[in-house]
Structure 1
Amino acid sequence: MINEWQRQSYLSALGIENYMPRMCLPFAAQSRACLLPDLAPGQEISTSILSESQDAALDLNPISVQKSSSISASEILTDIIPVKKMTVTVNAETILQQLEIKKSPELNPFSLSIWRPVTGFLIIDARNSSLALPTELLLKNILLSYLPSQELDLREEVMRWPMVENRFVARTEDDARNELQTWLSVENELRPIQKLWLMGNNAARYWLEDNSPISESYWQQRSVVTHSSTQTLVAWVTPSLIELLQQPELKARFWATVT
């Protein structure tokens, strides 16, 4: 047992003013009253005085500790702290399965075509340059009929994702959503958007709220998710220019939707 004066010195050094134990362990020695030594005025407590005080406490309160070989330490601790039983066997296979479940699939790089034909009008189209289709010519014909009396700016801007190349960082769909939603939010702050067309799968999937197939959202006006809380954007979701060229019968429905 530690001397009470020494215990108080330790607690004082730790900055603890009051201390109360939460429980009493089985077979622990009983607590003893702290005997204050008789000190003359100006006399300091020394090691010998503390030792004499501790010996006196032992003489006044002799303790007999019962020993038992039939009760183990694990049985005593079981009564104090409930042991949580593991219901699932942990091995290398289960750990690898958990890692595979948590790991998000990596997304292949892609690019988008962006047009700003007039002020406040933004068009984002899914891009596939390997097909070499006249998408720019089709969009020009659409806009000449859609905005016949306005001067159009038909310069195409290509936005590639990921925007910053880093081969050491995994790129997932969540990463694409965060980057593109942030980009659209900044774009709206710099050049407020009054009309927005999202054309094709990659042009729409990262800005819509749900994860439903994009084809189910075609020909509808949908709310767009951005990181800005000042304005809510609404966009027409339509097939891409490539889809319109590959399926000419969709052009009539496209025109009826946007007009």
Structure 2
Amino acid sequence: MITELRRRAYLSAMQVASWLPRVELPFAAPSRPELLGTLVEPEVEVPIPLAEQVVEQRVAEAAPAYQPQAVEAPIARTKIEVPRPTVAARQGISQVAETEAQVVEPKVSVAPPRFALQLLRAGACAVLVELPTGEPLQGRDPAYLLLKDLLRAAGLPDSPQLIGEPVRWPLLARGQIDQGPDAALEFVQSFVGARLEEQEPCSCLWLVGLPAIRFAGEADAEAYNRELQVEGLGAAWALPGLELLMDEPERKRELWQAMRRVRQRWLANH
């Protein structure tokens, strides 16, 4: 048997607005006639003393069968044992995580750079110069005449000697060989280093033009007119390209100022 409050709580949880018991419930609140409708029989007027006797009699009859219930304790939930990974399993998981972390993402293919460089020798200096047209410098080319002026101003012979063939990149028009910037850097430095070993030691390597600075000196346009120390190639001096100097003559002033500082490097050996 349950109390009236708990019974109403159960019915409210089940969304039961009205109900009619099949049998008379002890300790239940009297039913409301408006909910029973036609099912409720007309009330019979009972004298008050007789009604009290009936209630007392029904309470006495139900008392032996009714036992007050204590507050129900919360239902104990069954503890579910979750299997825990063993030491070997944890080590396997950590190894898998480390392996996934070490997976190197595939390299994104980069379009190969395009440039042409020529290595020259002028006295105590070697000159790696960008070829503006991709073809070797000719005697009457404006770029070659400007280079001769730079060499004369530096106190070097103005008729430099060619060292090897021009380096044109990319090397191959087709193929699966990597010809990206890293490959170009490695190739140019190896080429220049090998050619310089065949020559007498030079005091300074001129890097004329951005491709020469980038793929031989591992620098960028911010290195213009500055001295560099390149591993495997020694001391170097970065200059703007010949074509850039012709298009922007105002750059020559800064170049002359830098040359006065740097030229002591090769003039001191004479």
Report the TM-score range of the alignment, normalised by the length of the smaller protein.
0.5 to 0.7
1:195 aligns with 2:204: yes
Give the 5 Å matches for 1:1-259.
Answer: 78-79=85-86, 81-83=88-90, 84=93, 98-99=105-106, 102-118=107-123, 120-129=124-133, 134-147=142-155, 150=157, 152-153=159-160, 158-163=166-171, 167-191=175-199, 192-209=201-218, 214-226=220-232, 233-259=234-260
Give % identity: 24
Structure 1 residue identity aligned to 2:229: S
In structure 2, relative to structure 1, the CA distance for the partners of 1:108 and 1:151 (3 Å cut) is closer
In structure 2, relative to structure 1, the CA distance for the partners of 1:82 and 1:253 (3 Å cut) is same
In structure 2, relative to structure 1, the CA distance for the partners of 1:189 and 1:163 (3 Å cut) is farther
Shift of residue 222, structure 1, vs aligned partner? 0.8
Q: Distance in 2 between matches of 1:186 and 1:170?
A: 21
Q: Distance in 1 between matches of 2:215 and 2:158?
A: 31
Helix, strand or coil at the partner of 1:255: helix
Structure 2 residue identity aligned to 1:123: V
Helix, strand or coil at the partner of 1:206: helix
Q: Distance in 1 between matches of 2:88 and 2:162?
A: 71
Structure 1 unmatched runs, 5+: 1-74, 227-231
Structure 1 residue identity aligned to 2:182: D
Q: Distance in 2 between matches of 1:245 and 1:151?
A: 18
Shift of residue 109, structure 1, vs aligned partner? 3.2
Does the 8 Å CA contact 1:236/1:258 hold for their aligned counterparts? no
Q: CA RMSD for the aligned pairs?
A: 3.7
Shift of residue 224, structure 1, vs aligned partner? 1.1
- 1:57 equivalent in structure 2: none
Q: Distance in 1 between matches of 2:202 and 2:191?
A: 13
Structure 2 unmatched runs, 5+: 1-82, 261-270
- 1:17 equivalent in structure 2: none
Helix, strand or coil at the partner of 1:222: strand
Structure 2 residue identity aligned to 1:147: G
Does the 8 Å CA contact 1:207/1:225 hold for their aligned counterparts? no
String of CA shifts for 1:216-252, please: whole Å, max 9, x gaps. 11121111132xxxxx611111211111101001112
Structure 1 residue identity aligned to 2:225: W
Shift of residue 159, structure 1, vs aligned partner? 2.1
Does the 8 Å CA contact 1:126/1:203 hold for their aligned counterparts? yes
In structure 2, relative to structure 1, the CA distance for the partners of 1:130 and 1:121 (3 Å cut) is closer
Does the 8 Å CA contact 1:140/1:154 hold for their aligned counterparts? no
User: TM-score, with normalisation over the residues of structure 1?
Assistant: 0.53
Aligned residues between the structures: 168
Q: Distance in 1 between matches of 2:114 and 2:251?
A: 28
User: TM-score, with normalisation over the residues of structure 2?
Assistant: 0.51
Q: Which has the larger radius of gyration?
A: 2
- 2:42 equivalent in structure 1: none
In structure 2, relative to structure 1, the CA distance for the partners of 1:165 and 1:187 (3 Å cut) is farther
Q: Distance in 1 between matches of 2:250 and 2:161?
A: 25
